[in-house]
Amino acid sequence: MKNLTALITGASEGLGKSFAIECAQLGFNLVLVSLPETGLEFLANYLRRNFGVQVFCMETDLTRNNSDVEIFKLLETNKLRVNVLINNAGIGNWSWFEEKDPDFYRAQIELNVTNTVLLTRSFLSHIDKSEPSYILNVGSLGGHFVVPKKQVYGATKSFIGYFTRCLQLELKSTNVRVSLLSPGGINTKSELLVMNKNLKGFAKATILEADFVAKVAIQGMMKGKKEIIPGFANRLLLTVDKVIPSFWKEILMRRNLKTILSV
Ligand SMILES: NC(=O)c1ccc[n+]([C@@H]2O[C@H](COP(=O)([O-])OP(=O)(O)OC[C@H]3O[C@@H](n4cnc5c(N)ncnc54)[C@H](OP(=O)(O)O)[C@@H]3O)[C@@H](O)[C@H]2O)c1
């Protein structure tokens, strides 16, 4: 794809890495952001060698104050312009509320919410809004549901959904397309793989591979889709959720997640 340069956060592994590979395959130049010492340069070299795209790496902790401003300053210093922003970095968890300490929740909210908002703010100042540009915010299907053990995480993703829908309205008259990605479970980290293996039936069918999610997401983003929900089972789940009464939802939720909730 000509003239597109994507800034991807959390790019060294998981879904972020799949986004980087998918974008490189489509010919996007890349600005990859990850925490320090995550081996990002190895990925960058692989992408340069195999897809002939330009890749610029930045290593920073996105929960630090001003990291959003520093990223865009560094882009200016290096005379780089981006026109695609993929807000992917996020901290997930699966734990009872009191099992995590306050610092965990502080970092989770900083990364999932504050950083997404502020990077988006800086991105909008950086681009020419009359030129085609794209924002892809990674939310979660969990942001649509009330799921035990995902209390703060789910709330941060609900925030991302609301934030994205408002931006879609505000930027309607520009050439900036804003999409919300709401994936179900993705096989990324090893602990998720173990957890997802215990799922059965319909719950299992909602789990997808990162490369597939990234492909569907980038296709949707390029088409300017408002919300992208990869996988038939996940779209069905959301449709059913809208029509069934809440007491049924609770029964279904308990039955499907019984194995995991008891962990
Ligand atoms: N996996 C799932 O089941 C699932 C389902 C729905 C939505 N999602 C969302 O999809 C996105 C990617 O999830 P994932 O499972 O691939 O990844 P993940 O392993 O949970 O973490 C996402 C990435 O965030 C980055 N990160 C974490 N702390 C950071 C910090 N302080 N500063 C900068 N970056 C930081 C890390 O990237 P680097 O290592 O590159 O720094 C990490 O790879 C997240 O927003 C997640 O909430 C995931």
Residue bearing the CA closest to ligand 1, atom 48: 186
Band (23; pLDDT cuts 50, 70, 90): very high
Whole-number pLDDT of residue 240 = 87
Band (261; pLDDT cuts 50, 70, 90): low
Q: Is 100 helix (H, G, I), strand (E, B) or coil?
A: coil
Q: State yes or no: pLDDT of 15 exceeds 80.
A: yes
Mean pLDDT for 154-183 is 98
Mean pLDDT for 252-256 is 72
Answer with the residue of higher pLDDT: 148 or 86. 86
Q: Which tens digits make up the pLDDT trace of 41-78?
A: 999 999 999 999 999 999 999 999 999 999 999 999 99
Answer with the residue of higher pLDDT: 165 or 245. 165
Query: How far does residue 112's CA lie from ligand 1's centre (Å)?
Result: 9
Whole-number pLDDT of residue 192 = 81
Taking alpha carbons only, the member of 134, 135, 155 closest to residue 145 is 155
Rounded to the nearest integer, the mean pLDDT of the chain is 94
Q: Is the dihedral of CA 121, 126, 129, 135 positive or negative?
A: negative
Kindly report each contact of residues 185-191 with a partner whose C-beta sits within 8 Å and lies 24 or more positions away, as own/partner.
186/14, 186/15, 186/210, 186/213, 188/13, 188/14, 188/15, 189/13, 189/14
Whole-number pLDDT of residue 257 = 67
Q: Where are the beta strands (DSSP E) in the chain?
A: 5-9, 29-34, 55-59, 84-87, 133-138, 176-181, 186-187, 208-209, 227-228
Q: Which tens digits make up the pLDDT trace of 191-204?
A: 788 888 888 888 88
Query: How far does residue 74's CA lie from ligand 1's centre (Å)?
Result: 23
Q: State yes or no: pLDDT of 157 exceeds 90.
A: yes
Band (238; pLDDT cuts 50, 70, 90): very high
User: Which is the closest atom of ligand 1 to the Cα of 138?
Assistant: 45
* Lowest mean pLDDT across 19-23, 38-42, 198-202, 256-260: 256-260
Q: Where are the beta strands (DSSP E) in 105-215?
A: 133-138, 176-181, 186-187, 208-209
Q: State yes or no: pLDDT of 259 exceeds 70.
A: no
Say if residues 92 and 153 touch (Cβ distance below 8 Å).
Answer: yes
Ligand 1 neighbours, Cβ below 6 Å, are 10-16, 34-35, 38, 61-63, 88-92, 111, 138, 140, 183, 185-186, 188-189, 192
Whole-number pLDDT of residue 20 = 98
Domains belonging to the chain, first-starting first, are 5-261 (3.40.50.720)
Whole-number pLDDT of residue 262 = 61
Band (116; pLDDT cuts 50, 70, 90): very high
Q: State yes or no: pLDDT of 38 exceeds 80.
A: yes
